[in-house]
């Protein structure tokens, strides 16, 4: 994909994300606001290149602030979905800023041998996180079984473990 086309795609994401977030905010439609915030994030990731470290940090700060805002709004309104997504976005933002956004290479598909090594390690960690989740929930719930949502949360635990590990390994090697 050419740089010009990428810029257009990113601008579309940014403009539509901002418009949706603004509308969501005005009408107190939190899901709409969340989708807008996420679209702005996708737009920012799309415009990233390896040479823009300062921009990468800015993206991390944006995600962390947006996540913290969602977390606070979710907690105030007792909307646990907003709280959970806000927490995940905050952690993702901190990791992105800390690793100068190199972890977004996973989304952008800009992999080389070092990043593939980190990704391979991350997949292993994600798998182990899911296995431990299943074991711990299975043992804790006993014969009565756990609600479906608790089992589903294992997917988020695995993803968070894998993404976190990817960022950590990239900083280490």
User: Count of residues binding other proteins (CB under 8 A)?
Assistant: 12
Work out the burial of residue 109: count CB atoms within 10 Å of its CB; fewer than 13 is exposed, 13-18 middle, 19 or more buried.
exposed
Shortest approach of other proteins to residue 120 CB, angstroms?
A: 13
Q: Which listed residue (3, 4, 5, 51) binds other proteins by CB under 8 A?
A: 51
- CA nearest neighbour of 88 among 37, 27, 54: 37
The CA–CA distances, whole Å, from 17 to 11, 76, 86, 112 equal 10, 24, 17, 30
H/E element, 66: helix 53-77
Q: Which listed residue (102, 119, 133, 165) binds other proteins by CB under 8 A?
A: 102
Using the rule CB under 8 A, give the single segment among 3-11, 69-77, 112-120, 143-151 that binds other proteins. 112-120
* Other residues' Cβ atoms within 10 Å of the Cβ of residue 11: 13
Q: What is the rounded distance in angstroms from the CA atom of residue 89 to the CA atom of residue 52?
A: 21
What six digits make up the tokens of 98?
């800390």
170 binds other proteins (CB under 8 A): yes
Nearer to other proteins, 150 or 173 (CB): 173
Nearer to other proteins, 83 or 121 (CB): 121
Q: Which listed residue (7, 15, 19, 50) binds other proteins by CB under 8 A?
A: 50
106 binds other proteins (CB under 8 A): no
Using the rule CB under 8 A, give the single segment among 30-38, 71-79, 104-112, 129-137 that binds other proteins. 104-112
């Amino acid at each position: 994909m050419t740089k010009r086309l990428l810029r257009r795609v990113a601008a579309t994401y940014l403009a539509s994300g901002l418009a949706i977030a603004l509308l969501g905010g005005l009408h107190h439609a939190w899901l709409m606001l969340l989708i807008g915030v996420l679209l702005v994030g996708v737009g920012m990731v799309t415009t990233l290149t390896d040479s823009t470290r300062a921009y990468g940090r800015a993206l991390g700060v944006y995600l962390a602030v947006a996540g913290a805002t969602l977390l606070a709004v979710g907690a105030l309104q007792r909307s646990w979905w907003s709280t959970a997504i806000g927490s995940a976005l905050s952690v993702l933002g901190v990791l992105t800023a800390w690793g100068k956004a190199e972890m977004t290479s996973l989304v952008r598909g800009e992999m080389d041998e070092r990043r593939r090594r980190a990704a391979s390690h991350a997949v292993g960690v994600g798998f182990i996180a899911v296995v431990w989740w299943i074991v711990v929930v299975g043992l804790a719930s006993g014969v009565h079984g756990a609600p479906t949502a608790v089992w589903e949360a294992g997917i988020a635990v695995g993803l968070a473990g894998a993404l976190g590990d990817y960022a950590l390994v990239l900083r280490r090697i």
